[in-house]
């Protein structure tokens, strides 16, 4: 599980590029993971979609379990699903280290975030571009990480919505230093520097890694840009 020292490692290593595995070659999953490890990534991001909360359907518990067997890297599991409270324990048991739910998927995220912590994982709360920061104020004390979506969730390859930058800046100013900030959606060589400058510490990238010829080169370039603070 992603215990306090692992969270501290992510803080110390930030900015951290997290490959979003939606675009990886699942027919050669172990090879993909080894290439990412060799590229020096510090964790893996998994987008779980149910075809209900978002208009797409991806993978579920078996993929999380398979990845847990393949790697010791932290698994950052993003639940884009309805009724996430019904599946928290299963995803933690499958190997999730950081488990993120959507504010829009529940009436009150606080008990679900607490449920994640009790189950043994770090708790994350995601918000979509239209969702106000004020609507999650009460939930912030229950968060180990806040994920700011820069696209509407459901499909990869969408354009970056700059409303995310102001949200990240505001959150960084109000959150305790030990709460991580993550950004997901449209993160690439053109947008990642602004995300890093705003205060994002975990930066989820999909096509910016998997659609390139060399993972190590792509990860190094993205890390450099995210660190530029320009």
- Which tens digit of pLDDT belongs to each residue from 118-164? 999 999 999 999 999 999 999 999 999 999 999 988 765 668 999 99
Alpha helices in the chain (DSSP H): 4-13, 29-38, 61-70, 88-94, 109-119, 163-174, 192-198, 207-210, 215-226
Which residues are part of the catalytic machinery? Answer: 47, 184
Q: By three-state DSSP, how is residue 18 classified?
A: strand
In a 10 Å sphere around its CB, with 0-12 CB exposed, 13-18 middle and 19+ buried, how is residue 173 labelled? exposed
Question: Is residue 113 within 8 Å of 125, Cβ to Cβ?
Answer: yes
Query: Would you say residue 1 has pLDDT above 50?
Result: no
> Quick check: 56 pLDDT over 60?
yes
Q: For residues 95 and 32, what is the distance between their CA atoms, to the nearest angstrom?
A: 18
* Structure confidence at residue 198 (pLDDT): 96
> What domain range includes position 44?
4-226
Q: Is the CB of residue 219 less than 8 Å from the CB of residue 17?
A: yes
What CATH number is associated with residue 50?
3.20.20.70
Instruction: Identify the residue with better confidence: 51 or 215.
Output: 215
pLDDT score recorded for residue 67? 95
pLDDT attached to residue 60? 80
Does the reported pTM lie above 0.85?
A: yes
Please give the tally of structural domains in the chain: 1
208-218 average pLDDT score? 94
Mean pLDDT of the region 27-54: 91
pLDDT digits (tens, 9 = 90+) for 159-210: 899 999 999 999 999 999 999 999 999 999 999 999 999 999 999 999 899 9
Tokens of 87: 């599946």
Asked if residue 218 has pLDDT above 50, the reply is yes
Examine the pLDDT at 55 and tell me if it is beyond 70. Answer: no
Q: How far apart are CA 114 and CA 94, in angstroms?
A: 18
Average pLDDT, the chain: 91
Residue 8 has pLDDT above 90, yes or no: no
Is the per-residue pLDDT at 33 higher than 70?
Answer: yes
Q: Return d(Cα 117, Cα 20) in angstroms, integer.
A: 23
């Amino acid at each position: 599980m992603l215990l306090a020292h692992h969270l501290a490692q992510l803080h110390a290593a930030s900015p951290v590029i997290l490959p979003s595995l939606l675009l990886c070659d699942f027919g050669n999953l172990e090879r993909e993971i080894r290439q990412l490890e060799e590229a020096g990534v510090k964790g893996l991001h998994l987008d779980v979609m149910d075809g209900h909360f978002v208009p797409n359907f991806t993978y579920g518990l078996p993929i999380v379990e398979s990845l847990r067997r393949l790697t010791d890297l932290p698994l950052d599991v993003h639940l884009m699903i309805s009724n996430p409270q019904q599946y928290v324990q299963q995803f933690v048991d499958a190997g999730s280290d950081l488990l993120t739910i959507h504010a829009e998927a529940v009436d009150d995220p606080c008990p679900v975030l607490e449920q994640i912590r009790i189950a043994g994982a770090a708790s994350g709360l995601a918000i979509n571009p239209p969702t106000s920061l004020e609507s999650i104020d009460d939930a912030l004390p229950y968060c180990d990480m806040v994920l700011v979506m820069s696209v509407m969730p459901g499909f990869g390859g969408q354009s970056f919505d700059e409303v995310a930058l102001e949200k990240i800046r505001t959150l960084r100013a109000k959150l305790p230093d030990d709460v991580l900030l993550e950004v997901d959606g449209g993160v690439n060589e053109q947008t990642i520097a602004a995300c890093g400058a705003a205060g994002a510490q975990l930066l989820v990238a999909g096509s910016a890694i998997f659609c390139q010829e060399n993972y190590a080169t792509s990860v190094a370039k993205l890390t450099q840009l995210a660190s530029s603070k320009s």
